[in-house]
Amino acid sequence: MIWEYFRPRSASETLQLLKKWNGKAKLVAGGTNVVPEIRAKTVDRGTLIDLSHLRTLSYIKEQKRNIRIGALTSISEIAFSKVIQKYFPILAEATRQIGNPLVRNRATLAGNLADASPAADSAVPLLVLNASVIVERHKNKAKQIPIDQFFIGPNKTVLKRDELIREIVLPKRVLSSRMVYSKMGLRNAMAISVISMGALVEVEKGACSQVRIALGAVAPTPRRAYGVEKLLAGQVVSEELIDRCCGAIQREIQPINDVRATAEYRSFMASVLLKRLLHQVFF
């Protein structure tokens, strides 16, 4: 296997390299996805662009209306950030369950998103939080992609081959909103998800004024449960309504059989997890 290796010192230099190699280059930051692929020989010869020296893309910045997370911010930094824990505890909780400490210290948020696994642990809370992905291209203005439009298939995103994720932007939430996250793995939380789910709810005068629900590992991409959200919006939540939502969630997913679980089991557990999460946020 033959590789060419580059270690750019700036985002601008990285974008130039991506354009030069016209989609034949592979980006590597923490290496937690790429290195196992190379060892398993599931990727052919090509060009590696090592992003590990782009420290300007590693940050968590609090602004008046948003929190901005640099693409190369490690999963560990996000999991234990006081700012993230204050505004987005669901993201802190989910990132603490990614891999093990060694993986979390190396893996980056952008890497987890760009890999686009249907079971990507960071995707579920980011969907719930209405995040956007900021993407750059050589000599082009940066563009903002809503996270629910970012994934288009298993391990596929809308990213073009010469584009680079610059940062992830999260609008500050109302601190009174309630949010919960749950993940099921075969052995423990560090395993790849059999199913994961997150929810964010705001309640006014006893009724659900805003709700977002997202799931992972139950469809070709991580996804929002828009049908269930519509059932809950503006409603005073009851056991009867929760039961209706649990039936509706199964019509929003497309689980598959794989080595971790059957499609039937995932479908059943989607209803179980939804009922648990709705009870947590409403009762």
Give dist(CA 166, CA 18) in Å, integer.
Answer: 14
- The string of pLDDT tens digits covering residues 176-206 is 899 999 998 766 545 678 999 999 999 998 8
Nearest to 269 by CA among 201, 226, 230, 216: 216
DSSP 8-state code for residue 41 = T
pLDDT tens digit string along 212-239? 999 999 999 999 999 999 999 999 999 9
Q: Which CATH architecture has domain 59-171?
A: 2-Layer Sandwich (3.30)
Is a pLDDT exceeding 60 seen at residue 123?
A: yes
Count other C-beta atoms under 10 Å from residue 203's C-beta.
Answer: 17
Backbone angles phi, psi at 106, to 5 degrees: -100, -40
Q: In the chain, where are the structural domains located?
A: 3-50, 59-171, 178-282
Q: Report residue 153's pLDDT band, with 50, 70 and 90 as the boundaries.
A: very high
**Rounded to whole angstroms, how far apart are CA atoms 193 and 118?**
9
Map residue 30 onto helix, strand or coil. Answer: coil
Q: Which of 73, 215, 230 is nearest to 148 (CA)?
A: 215
Pick the CATH number of 178-282 from 3.30.70.1560, 3.30.420.40, 3.40.50.10490, 3.30.390.50: 3.30.390.50
Q: Give the per-residue pLDDT at 95.
A: 95
Instruction: Note the pLDDT of residue 40.
Output: 62
Structure tokens given for 130: 């209405």
- Confidence bin at 270 (pLDDT 50/70/90): very high
pLDDT for the residue numbered 191:
65
Q: Which of 176, 226, 180 is nearest to 202 (CA)?
A: 176
pLDDT at position 2 is 55
Q: Which two tokens stand for residue 45?
A: 């010869």
Residue 279 has pLDDT above 90, yes or no: yes
Class of domain 3-50: alpha beta
